[in-house]
Chain A
């Protein structure tokens, strides 16, 4: 009885980390753009949906194997993100922040409309990235670890999310272009003086964010089904994760995402007990909104957003 409860509990933790990893990727995309452009990109979710449809088209209509399609989609998403900044965002960047926000909302509606027009609203089935790998390596879908049944797809999702985060961290921390990206985000005027071409760095940030979103979309679609509103709920979770971790903190986005995923799954798990029996799956999204509200009221900087430390 107790062992079964523990196994169930552990499964929920792993599943929570898997969905949390996806929230973290999209939250990271929001944070990257917020740090460089200073706004929340409301179109982040729709850009990811578009990317996922491109992957689906390559696989389903053009017969590409999964992983080449995955990589091609990341490349196209990166270019798309760069182009979005150059063509749509840059012309309004010098004005009021509100203008950029409105442009990203317009972008959201435009991309959503385009997706429906191009692929119709019918749900489609996208393969899981892990099916082919598991078949090749002869890994079962469920692995029993000391009595706990672990879904290998969840493990794969967590691994991809961690891999992306580590890659990005390495890029920011150890490369010249990463340093220039950070410099452009914290002090664009100064960055220009040392010779950084700041507008290109901002465009690069949009490209990276679009790439992260594409990964999040391709990890999500296989379990929930691909439809034009694929990322809308996910964007709310990503907001909650980013706000929880601190909207200016990449580390915060990752921790916030994982924390949110585990927290929501814990609530689902606990709902079998009397005290939490009011919690149903329909309350997942409202819970995320409550988290956004509470964090903004109690600790607006989030868990990892530090107040400016400066000696003058």
Chain B
């Protein structure tokens, strides 16, 4: 498989506080890769470094081309970032959210894509005119995912999708992500506190500790790893 994105010794900082101390990782085309770690390990910052929403150094290459500039440049290059806490425009309608997802596209197939994406989320069809803020938490997270798909992303970044959602909804969310990965070949880099579901849904994973990669391997290997089991899986 081809390498889709490669981070090489990426550092990032918020003002005086350095959050990433040289993170290197790769995601190949068609993979679902998980990033695990404790609070403050730099998981969210890793995603933000990729989408250009934090000051960073080091190199980030998407399909061999360096990613530079702000989030609008990353979006244009094909990175769809679903931030923590449901990335939806709560004041806009479901349909408007979907249309915004396609903002970087210049083609005229946006309407068709809304239908295509809606196949995964049938409830969105009849509720297109509803304000996103009035959806349930789970529905908003699904909408955030659907909106990200509207950009036809090369790489989907998911930040803590399970946050604040009921376990059943989390399961459904990850099932949809896997389905998209299998059917559409969607490449996903997902940051997740819930290590169990993250490892069950991914093929490989990285474990971050204090802004650096501490451990990496296939998800199956990591599931069997004694210290991972104790620190992140809790059994």
Chain A residues at the B interface, C-beta cutoff of 8 Å: 176, 179-180, 182-183, 186-187, 189-197, 308-312
A-B residue pairs, 9 tightest by C-beta: A195-B75, A195-B104, A192-B71, A186-B91, A310-B133, A195-B72, A194-B103, A195-B103, A193-B81
| Pairwise interchain contact B92-A193, C-beta atoms closer than 8 A | no
Inter-chain contacts of A196 with B (CB < 8 A): 72, 100, 103
| Pairwise interchain contact A193-B89, C-beta atoms closer than 8 A | no
From the candidates A182, A193, A309, name the one contacting B75 in the complex (CB within 8 A). A193
Smallest Cβ-Cβ distance to B139: which chain A residue: A311
Smallest Cβ-Cβ distance to B147: which chain A residue: A194
Q: How far is the CB of A93 from chain B (nearest CB, A)?
A: 15
Known: A194-B75, A311-B136. A182 touches B92 (CB 8 A): yes
In the bound assembly, the distance between CA atoms of A196 and B100 in angstroms comes to 9
| Pairwise interchain contact A193-B134, C-beta atoms closer than 8 A | no
Inter-chain contacts of B30 with A (CB < 8 A): none
From the candidates B53, B70, B75, B92, name the one contacting A183 in the complex (CB within 8 A). B92
In the bound assembly, the distance between CA atoms of A311 and B88 in angstroms comes to 13
Inter-chain contacts of A183 with B (CB < 8 A): 89, 92, 100
Interface residues of B in 67-101 (CB under 8 A from A): 70-72, 75-76, 81, 83, 87-92, 96, 99-101
- The 13 sampled A-B contact pairs (Cβ below 8 Å) are A176-B99, A180-B100, A182-B92, A183-B100, A187-B91, A189-B83, A190-B89, A194-B100, A194-B147, A194-B151, A195-B76, A196-B103, A310-B133
Inter-chain contacts of A189 with B (CB < 8 A): 53, 83
Q: How far is the CB of A156 from chain B (nearest CB, A)?
A: 35
In the bound assembly, the distance between CA atoms of A195 and B106 in angstroms comes to 12
Asked if B46 lies at the interface with its beta carbon under 8 angstroms from chain A, I say: no
Smallest Cβ-Cβ distance to B73: which chain A residue: A195
In the bound assembly, the distance between CA atoms of A189 and B71 in angstroms comes to 9
| Pairwise interchain contact A193-B99, C-beta atoms closer than 8 A | no
| Pairwise interchain contact A193-B71, C-beta atoms closer than 8 A | yes
| Pairwise interchain contact A311-B135, C-beta atoms closer than 8 A | yes
| Pairwise interchain contact B133-A180, C-beta atoms closer than 8 A | no
Asked if B187 lies at the interface with its beta carbon under 8 angstroms from chain A, I say: no
How many B residues have CB within 8 A of the partner chain?
30
Inter-chain contacts of B71 with A (CB < 8 A): 192-193, 195
In the bound assembly, the distance between CA atoms of A192 and B53 in angstroms comes to 9
In the bound assembly, the distance between CA atoms of A180 and B103 in angstroms comes to 8
When each residue 34-76 of chain B gets 1 if its CB lies under 8 Å from chain A and 0 otherwise, what string results? 0000000000000000010100000000000000001110011
Q: How far is the CB of A224 from chain B (nearest CB, A)?
A: 38
| Pairwise interchain contact A311-B83, C-beta atoms closer than 8 A | no
In the bound assembly, the distance between CA atoms of A180 and B137 in angstroms comes to 24
Tell me the total A-B contact number using a CB cutoff of 8 A. Answer: 74
Inter-chain contacts of A310 with B (CB < 8 A): 90, 133-134
From the candidates A176, A186, A187, A309, name the one contacting B103 in the complex (CB within 8 A). A176
Smallest Cβ-Cβ distance to A196: which chain B residue: B103
In the bound assembly, the distance between CA atoms of A179 and B89 in angstroms comes to 11
| Pairwise interchain contact B104-A194, C-beta atoms closer than 8 A | yes
Asked if B131 lies at the interface with its beta carbon under 8 angstroms from chain A, I say: yes
Inter-chain contacts of B87 with A (CB < 8 A): 190, 193
Smallest Cβ-Cβ distance to B137: which chain A residue: A312
Inter-chain contacts of A309 with B (CB < 8 A): 131, 133-134
Inter-chain contacts of B147 with A (CB < 8 A): 194
Smallest Cβ-Cβ distance to B77: which chain A residue: A195
Supply 14 further A-B pairs (C-beta < 8 A) apart from A190-B83, A190-B88, A193-B53: A176-B99, A179-B99, A179-B103, A182-B96, A186-B90, A186-B91, A187-B89, A192-B71, A195-B71, A195-B76, A195-B103, A195-B104, A311-B136, A311-B137
Smallest Cβ-Cβ distance to B110: which chain A residue: A176
Known: A180-B100, A193-B83, A194-B75. A311 touches B133 (CB 8 A): yes
Known: A182-B92, A183-B92. A193 touches B51 (CB 8 A): yes
| Pairwise interchain contact A192-B72, C-beta atoms closer than 8 A | yes
When each residue 115-138 of chain B gets 1 if its CB lies under 8 Å from chain A and 0 otherwise, what string results? 000000000000000010111110
Known: A192-B70, A192-B72. A186 touches B89 (CB 8 A): yes
In the bound assembly, the distance between CA atoms of A176 and B111 in angstroms comes to 13
Inter-chain contacts of A186 with B (CB < 8 A): 89-92
Q: How far is the CB of B67 from chain A (nearest CB, A)?
A: 13
Inter-chain contacts of B89 with A (CB < 8 A): 183, 186-187, 190-191
In the bound assembly, the distance between CA atoms of A79 and B13 in angstroms comes to 37
Inter-chain contacts of A308 with B (CB < 8 A): 133
In the bound assembly, the distance between CA atoms of A237 and B85 in angstroms comes to 41
In the bound assembly, the distance between CA atoms of A187 and B132 in angstroms comes to 13
Q: How far is the CB of B138 from chain A (nearest CB, A)?
A: 11
In the bound assembly, the distance between CA atoms of A309 and B91 in angstroms comes to 9
Q: How far is the CB of B109 from chain A (nearest CB, A)?
A: 14
Smallest Cβ-Cβ distance to B104: which chain A residue: A195
In the bound assembly, the distance between CA atoms of A192 and B72 in angstroms comes to 6
In the bound assembly, the distance between CA atoms of A192 and B75 in angstroms comes to 8
